[in-house]
Structure 1
Amino acid sequence: MINKVQILSVTSPGNLDSYIRIANLWPMLSLEEEKSLTKRLRYSGDLDAAKTLILSHLRFVIHISRNYSGYGLLQADLIQEGNIGLMKAVRRFNPEIGVRLVSFAVHWIKSEIHEYVLRNWRIVKVATTKAQRKLFFNLRKNKKRLGWFNEDEIKIVAQELGVSNEDVREMESRMSAQDVIFSPFPEEDLKNGKNNTNMPYLQDKTSNFAHGLEKDDWDKHTTSKLSNALLRLDTRSRDIIHARWLDNNKKNTLQKIASNYGISAERVRQLEKNAMKKLKRAIEN
Structure 2
Amino acid sequence: MTRATRSTKQSTEYFQALPDDSSDDISGYKTALFEAKKLWSGVNISADSDPLSAYLSRLNHLEPLPWTAQQQLAKRYKEHGDRDAARLLVLTNLRLVVKLAKEYQRRKTDLLELIQQGNLGLSEALTRYDPYRGVKFTSYAQYWIRALILNYLMNHTHTVRIGGSRAGRKLFYNLKKARRALMQNGQKPTAALVAEYLDVSEDEVILVAAQIDAPPVYLDAQAPGHEETTLGEMMPSDTIDPETAAADYDLACQIRDCIDAFGTEIGDTRRVAIWSERMIADNPKTLAELGAVWDVSKERIRQLEVGMREDFRTFLLDRLGDEIRLEWLHST
TM-score between the two structures when normalised by the length of structure 2:
0.47
**Alignment of 1:171 onto 2:208:** yes
Question: Shift of residue 180 of structure 1?
Answer: 5.5
Pick aligned residue for 1:18 from 33, 54, 60: 54
Compare relative contact order (CA 8 Å, sep 6+) and give the higher one, 1 or 2: 1
Structure 2: runs of 5+ lacking an equivalent: 1-34, 42-47, 221-235, 241-332
What is the aligned counterpart of 2:82 among 46, 49, 55?
Answer: 46
1:68-105 deviations in whole A, cap 9, x for unaligned?
11263111110000000101111221111111111211
1:102 aligns with 2:143: no
Distance 1:178 1:70 in 2: 12
Select the structure of larger CA radius of gyration: 2
**Residues of 1 paired with 2:50 and 2:193: CA distance?**
42
**CA-CA distance at 1:143 after TM superposition:** 7.2
Higher helix share: 1
1:256-284: per-residue Cα shift (whole Å, max 9, x none)? xxxxxxxxxxxxxxxxxxxxxxxxxxxxx
In 2, the alpha carbon distance for the partners of 1:71 and 1:100 equals 33
Aligned counterpart, 2:96 = 60
Cα distance 1:72–1:143, how it changes in 2: closer, same or farther (>3 A)? farther
Normalising by structure 1, we get a TM-score of 0.54
The residue that corresponds to 2:286 in the other structure is: none
Aligned-partner Cα distance in 2 for 1:113–1:144: 21
Cα distance in 2 for residues equivalent to 1:155 and 1:13: 49
- C-alpha distance in 1 between matches for 2:189 and 2:117: 37
Aligned length: 181
Identity, % of aligned pairs? 30
CA RMSD of aligned residues (A): 3.5
Structure 2 CA distance for aligned equivalents of residues 157 and 70 of structure 1? 23
Contact 2:36 2:62 in 1 (8 A): no
Partner of 1:154: 191
Q: How does 1:75-224 map to 2 (within 5 A)?
A: 75-140=111-176, 153-175=190-212, 176=214, 178-179=216-217, 181=219, 201-202=237-238
The answer for unaligned runs of 5 or more in structure 1 is: 183-199, 205-285
Instruction: Tell me, yes or no, if the aligned pair for 2:155 and 2:162 is still in contact at 8 Å.
Output: no
Contact 1:81/1:116 (CA < 8 Å) preserved in 2? Answer: yes
Q: Is the CA contact 1:13–1:76 (under 8 Å) kept in the aligned structure 2?
A: no
Structure 1 residues 135 and 38, CA gap change in structure 2 (3 angstroms): same
